[in-house]
Amino acid sequence: MKKIIEKLKEKNIKITPQRIAIIEFLMSTKSHPSAEDIYKEISKKYPSMSYATVYNTLITLKNLGEVVELAIDSDKKRFDIDTSLHHHFYCTRCKRVYDLSKNFIIEAISTIDGHNVERTFLNFTGICNKCLKEEKDEQDRKKS
Amino acid sequence: MKKIIEKLKEKNIKITPQRIAIIEFLMSTKSHPSAEDIYKEISKKYPSMSYATVYNTLITLKNLGEVVELAIDSDKKRFDIDTSLHHHFYCTRCKRVYDLSKNFIIEAISTIDGHNVERTFLNFTGICNKCLKEEKDEQDRKKS
DNA sequence: GTTCGTGCAAATCTTTTGCAGTTTC
DNA sequence: GAAACTGCAAAAGATTTGCACGAAC
């Protein structure tokens, strides 16, 4: 919490009650909430809260590296303020997202923590070799 | 291709030119296209093609287990007709989705196939232990 | 001929944007 | 007081739905 506030100050990003409420809510839950979940929860205390502010804050925190946007629920974005290395399990029935530890058996498995795993996706996100090459070519061109 | 057609016939799902075009396109590409990509490609040959038909067909094929809906691009759904066990790499810059083989080193890694991996998500999808328990409780109640 | 599918348009849902007024520092 | 933020409403993008007409079997 303090660490995030410090980071906001460093970057000249203003500390508003809405932002604090969103950060506090994210830190209080392991539910990997969607923007809507966050909006509804915060609205209880701040009836004037708007979606614009929720999305605004989430994008700000994501850009700071203090929130991770999860692509596990294909219907909507889900957010996690725990940016440490860990993985997720998504229930296709209730849409809950569970944390998985870094240390799990990485074979084709039929059971994790008692869940019935139907399908395993190992997804990696980053900059691809095509983009890296284009970027390098671009730099080389500028040099010469 | 034939296998899918057979499956459609079995289930009394009609074989239409649009559906064939969509299946053929999906089989011809490794780009993991979105509904829009599919719509645009098929529209070249079938100018009357509609999004409704694209989504319709994708849902049908997904329900048959012949297409997988990928939750890796958090902006939109991406589809893969290769339902064999494999994983994906998503480029945050160009939005390409690459196939990864089942056999890759599963440690914290900084390079896969020359891509610069920023973040690793290991996502598992299925029915969670809460839902399984509810289902079991439900069944037990019916029995007694 | 019956059943199912297509295509259009409208609707819905999620997310983004423009902007006037307000708050933070 | 300047810069940044909020909240509203409108817009945009993705997906779904209702329904009249048409195609597949």
**B47: distance to nearest CA of chain A, Å?**
28
- Interface with chain B: mutation pick from A128, A129, A138, highest number of B CBs within 10 Å: A128
Give the three-class secondary structure for A74: coil
Rounded-to-integer distance, Cα B116 and Cα B94, Å:
13
Cβ burial of A116 (10 Å; 0-12, 13-18, 19+) is: middle
| Per-residue model confidence (pLDDT) at position A105 | 43
Domain B1-82 fold: Arc Repressor Mutant, subunit A (1.10.10)
Residue A90: phi and psi, rounded to 5, are: -115, 125
Rounded-to-integer distance, Cα A34 and Cα A141, Å:
43
Q: Which CATH architecture has domain B84-144?
A: 2-Layer Sandwich (3.30)
- Domain B84-144 in the same topology as domain B1-82: no
| Per-residue model confidence (pLDDT) at position B69 | 94
| Per-residue model confidence (pLDDT) at position B141 | 84
Across chain A, mean pLDDT equals 83
Domains of chain B by residue range:
1-82, 84-144
Report the amino acid identity of residue B56: N
Per cent of chain A over pLDDT 90 is 53
Does residue A97 or residue B59 have the better pLDDT?
B59
Which nucleotides of strand D lie under 7 Å from a protein CB?
3-10, 13-18, 23-25
| Per-residue model confidence (pLDDT) at position B74 | 92
Cβ atoms of residues B123 and A74 within 8 Å: no
